[in-house]
A and B are shown apart, each in its own frame.
Chain A
Amino acid sequence: MPVISVTSPKGGVGKTTTATLLSTILAERGISVILIDADPNGAVSLWAARGAGVPKNLQVVPAGAPNEFVRQIDASAATAAYVVVDLEGRAGQMAAYATALSDFVIIPTQGSQLDAEQTVRHIQLIKDQERVSRRRIPFAVIFTRTSAAVRPTGQAFIQASFAEDGIPTFATQIADREAYRAIFSFGGTLAGLKDSGARVGKLSSAIENADAFVDELLQQVAA
């Protein structure tokens, strides 16, 4: 039922990685998920088409045309326990629709000052959308591609200023890990990589990290 959009005004910040980790982990926990690929570049669809396939509770579908997208989100929400929408790296019509219909919006960001500024502007846009749609749109920022070992001072500063401004932020960060790239090279899921015995560095840490992110999200979005 809940619709979760992954959006950012910037490309390459980890939206598709975040959306795919979330969808596959929910599906592997036995939850039905529809993952809508709303990026014309189709990264999610390419991933789904790779050899390893997708978990049986997960359905990956391309987004329809803008005037059908709204119905598609509604129909998906009526069918699946969770709907995840992977969006293009810019604000536009599709992102606006998805955001307006979401029960939760995840905004991935990398820990640089430039990224942070764009993220803040994107949050202002979401706030304005809340105003015109007269409903609260819960959201949170997630730091991606962070170092698992150290927290650079720049990033710590940004986190502190987000906290000061009352910007909700995931406690879990999605660290930069080989395994998160590997699922896009081979297709399939983190658990699938483990079962296949593929030699991927720090795979169990990557699984723990992704699970922690999903757990934290589920605390905020009850089905």
Chain B
Amino acid sequence: MSQNPERARPSDRLNVAGMREVLTAHGYSEPFTAAPAPSPLLGPWRTGRTQQFNMKASPDTVQRFAAICRAYNWPSGLTLQHAVLALEEKLAQVRLTKGRDLEP
């Protein structure tokens, strides 16, 4: 057996529907709660607690965002988390009314 943690685990092709059928055929009627997520190995940044977040932004913003990710070797989710925190701190100082933008 290989020691390589990168090898494909059987979970990559887990046949949940088939397993449910087998259990039913053998008289076990317990419902399967939810299909298990096919599992990328949990790395330091893969906590399993994140969700997809797509958005559009100006090319300049996207490039500067990516530059921060590269410079600190942060995943984009972590950079976004820091950015939101920084913005919350700034907004707490300025008391903007709704609909107004921040001064650059």
A interface list, Cβ under 8 A from B:
1-2, 65-71, 73-75, 77-78, 90-93, 96-97, 100-101, 103, 121, 124-125, 128-129, 131-135, 221-223
Contact = CB atoms under 8 A, between A and B. Distances in A.
Interface residues of B, number: 29
Contact of A71 (B3, B19, B26, B42): B42
B28 A101 contact: no
Nearest to B1: A222
B91 interface: no
A34 to B, nearest CB: 13
A73 B34 contact: no
Contact of A70 (B3, B21, B26, B37): B37
Nearest to A77: B9
Contact of B23 (A66, A71, A92, A223): A92
A133 B35 contact: no
Contacts of B21: 132
B22 interface: yes
Nearest to A90: B28
B22 A70 contact: no
Given A71-B42, A100-B19, A121 B36 contact: no
B84 to A, nearest CB: 26
Contacts of A93: 23, 30, 32-33
B24 to A, nearest CB: 11
A128 B25 CA distance: 10
Among B3, B15, B39, max chain A CB count under 10 A is at B39
B83 interface: no
Interface of B: 1-3, 5, 9-11, 13-15, 18-19, 21-23, 25-26, 28, 30, 32-37, 39, 41-42, 48
Given A100-B15, A134-B15, A223-B3, 4 more contacts: A1-B1, A66-B33, A71-B39, A100-B10
Contacts of A77: 5, 9
B23 A132 contact: no
A121 B27 CA distance: 11
A1 B6 CA distance: 11
A132 B17 CA distance: 9
Given A96-B19, A124-B26, A132-B21, A74 B32 contact: no
19 contacts: A1-B2, A66-B33, A71-B11, A74-B11, A75-B39, A91-B26, A92-B23, A93-B32, A100-B11, A101-B11, A121-B26, A124-B26, A125-B22, A132-B15, A132-B18, A133-B10, A133-B13, A134-B15, A223-B3
